[in-house]
Structure 1
């Protein structure tokens, strides 16, 4: 499984969360504490919003702890809304196209989890994509496929309804093919103004998700960025967060 974080608040330098905290995302890429895999070295990515509507994106296949370009970039770039992700592959190749976040127009998406029995389910789900969105399919991951399904299911108009429709569609396809493994979906989306983060699974074991509010900013992460965990709240399974620069609201989520 992967590790990721999202930030929304006053602009800060990216390295303050990627490198400088006790349990920073780079530390988690080597020593994750709340993940099946302690090492998340199958590539990384950062997406950030600045003065333009569309986000910047930097992804590469090196382990995050071993990329000097990431450290230099994060030291210079300031943003009030950004995503960062370190990858542990669940079976698809290590390639730049398979690294998170994924981008479409002004939207960013990143994911920790899996579509159960993905090799069996993949073709059926891909064939439901319209030709325009299928052309945006650059990689091989279930995460990118879920993002494209979200877009097709109305993400730009109603993100919550699109999440519900996409997860329902995916579970239905899994059921049709007698998938033995669960759908696990701890994911984050943003249009540059809002962040939507969801912890969900078709079994009782959704990947971990935590949130913290400090100095008017909202942080959402796979695990706390401080070793003592002070001010970090673990989200229950079936929880949806909606964060903006004005604050964060949580609500129960079910299909």
Structure 2
């Protein structure tokens, strides 16, 4: 099971603050992931990828993202460390891979790019070999020829592209267009699986962006199982208060940063909320965050009734002595994958509120303080 991370902010961030410097950064998760459903392969060492967009539009560079991939383990790649220290971007995708399908090669490393679009996946399309022919037959020649690797994830991206009328358009897409294309992609993969008699659940944590807005899913084709972990954090600044330790600062009610990750990057549990299983997250160009339940045959209106596939406790140790031992002066931080979630309903976009009038502070505070039964409800919420 892979690990993935995405960042969108009003201001560019140094990639090192996401990829290498936090004690539980996505690079460290590549060898020390704690919330994986698949415990058979605890190491995400089958390659990695980082994609980012320029801070300012540049006609010469174009609107497509820059993507750096490698088959070396992320924790052992000096070029990644050097680049992360010198690159800033307002929109970043990062992924560390544990292969479930496809060989270990750069062409199979996430994320992938097509025009201005970028896509990555955590999970697997169950028994993909049984529907691969159906997937390929559904594609136009143009999109079929864009697939260079042999993973279920890249073919899922091709299915996504085929849901867009003009996937190579130069201007940004409306976020609602990306949202509908994502829903259609999930529905098509489910339908092909059902036709093939596949009973194993597919885990489809997809993320796509056009450099302006982002659409991300936490999804499993099951009414009873939890999808692969996915967390949400937002605030005004994401900063370090001591080496390796970060926190999300909320200086006011306005949200300038959104981070979505397979595992929390910080030791501050209050920074993170669990995205409910079978939910679509939309980050608009104005940093409004909208969450929609994916209402299909696998929709479960009582998500607390879902069963995880493994123990849902993860321990991340704090600093220790130089000899590797621990004593009482050094803390141990425990991440518990509890069921505090952001309630979801179909939301309608609204103009971004003026400073000091965002709904985020009130909504998120209410979600954190409400009892568990209220958090599992579908009371209206727009995270803005």
Same fold (TM over 0.5): yes
Cα distance in 1 for partners of 2:4, 2:195 equals: 31
Which stretches of structure 1, 4 residues or longer, exceed 2 Å deviation after superposition?
227-230, 244-247
What CA distance in whole angstroms lies between the structure 2 residues aligned with 1:178 and 1:205? 22
1:206 aligned partner: 227
> What is the aligned partner in structure 2 of residue 240 from structure 1?
280
**Which of 234, 257, 266 is the matching residue for 1:226?**
266
2:42 alignment counterpart: 38
Give me the TM-score of the superposition, normalised by structure 1.
0.96
Q: Larger C-alpha radius of gyration, 1 or 2?
A: 2
Q: Which moved more, 1:119-128 or 1:132-141?
A: 119-128
Counterparts of 1:35-114 in structure 2, within 5 Å, are 35=36, 36=38, 37-50=41-54, 51=56, 52-114=62-124
1:23 equivalent in structure 2: 24
Q: What is the Cα deviation at residue 160 of structure 1?
A: 1.7
Equivalent position of 2:197 in the other structure: 178
Deviation at residue 95 of structure 1 after TM alignment: 0.4
TM-score by length of 2: 0.64
Structure 2: tracts of 5 or more residues without a match: 57-61, 168-172, 237-255, 297-384
Question: Take 2:21 and 2:288, find their aligned partners in 1: how far apart are those partners?
Answer: 24
Paired residue for 1:188? 207
- Tell whether 2:6 aligns with 1:6: yes
**Aligned counterparts of 2:189 and 2:259: Cα–Cα separation in 1:** 28
RMSD: 1.4
Structure 1 regions of 5+ residues with no counterpart? Answer: none
Contact 1:117 1:180 in 2 (8 A): no
Alpha-carbon deviations, 1:198-228, whole Å to 9, x = none? Answer: 1111012311100100212000000100134
- Post-superposition CA distance 1:16-43 (Å, at most 9, x none): 1101112100110010011124310000
